[in-house]
Amino acid sequence: MPHAAAVTFTVLAAIAALPFAAPQDPPPQPPKPAPADLTPGQVDAGLLQRLTWLCGTWVLQDGGTTTEEHWRPLQGNTILGSSHTFSATKTLAFEHLRITASRGAIAYIAQPGGGKGTAFLLRTLEDGRLVFENPEHDHPQRIRYEKTDDGLVATIEQLDGSKQQRFVFRRAAKQ
């Protein structure tokens, strides 16, 4: 996944005001403003504690393929994670993950195949629901985790809801 620079709301507003925009076209809508407790510069350790329900091992079985996501406990300002998809005989994919507080924001950083990281900023933080977005990324642009009664659902999609993929995980049995 290529890394894209973040675009500020100021740039979006400037583009919308350019003369090539047709007058009948509605201006692009900026992302919903973050709740007061997610405003850059306002991140504190209490917010990261609200994400710790994600910690642990989550398993998805699909025929002969298994995907495991492991999220370590919060340490410092980061929750480290990894994703591993494999069959009985080989690794099909892996990804280094982290959720971290930095520069006044909380970000989900994905490194598929161990490559360069792509950051998705936390946009929604509710009990049992996290939404991260990066409108400049090719795919996905949104990553969502939702806690369920018997596991969690991870969803990736475009901001408009297209190209949606859902991954239904169950908490792994304690060993």
pLDDT in tens, 82-106: 999 999 999 999 999 999 998 889 9
Q: Tell me the sheet residues that pair with 156.
A: 143, 165
Whole-number pLDDT of residue 174? 77
CA distance 58 to 67: 8
| Predicted structure pTM score | 0.75
CA distance 131 to 124: 5
CA distances from 96 to 72, 74, 99, 159, 172 (A): 12, 16, 11, 23, 19
**9-171: CATH class:** mainly beta
- Cβ distance 74 to 89 under 8 Å? no
125 with 38: CB under 8 angstroms? yes
Q: Which two tokens stand for residue 101?
A: 């507080």
Which residue did the predictor score with more confidence, 23 or 93? 93
The token pair at 155 is 């969803």
Q: What is the pLDDT of residue 51?
A: 94
Q: Which is higher by pLDDT, 3 or 175? A: 175
Q: What's the rounded Cα separation, in Å, for the pair 77 and 64?
A: 36
Predicted local distance difference test score (pLDDT) of residue 128? 95
Furthest-apart CA atoms within the chain: distance in Å: 63
Q: Where are the beta strands (DSSP E) in the chain?
A: 56-62, 65-71, 78-86, 91-102, 105-112, 118-126, 129-133, 142-148, 151-157, 165-171
The pLDDT value recorded for residue 45 is 66
- Mean pLDDT, rounded, of the chain: 81
Three-state DSSP class for residue 9: helix
Quick check: 79 pLDDT over 50?
yes
User: Any idea where the domains of the chain sit in the sequence?
Assistant: 9-171
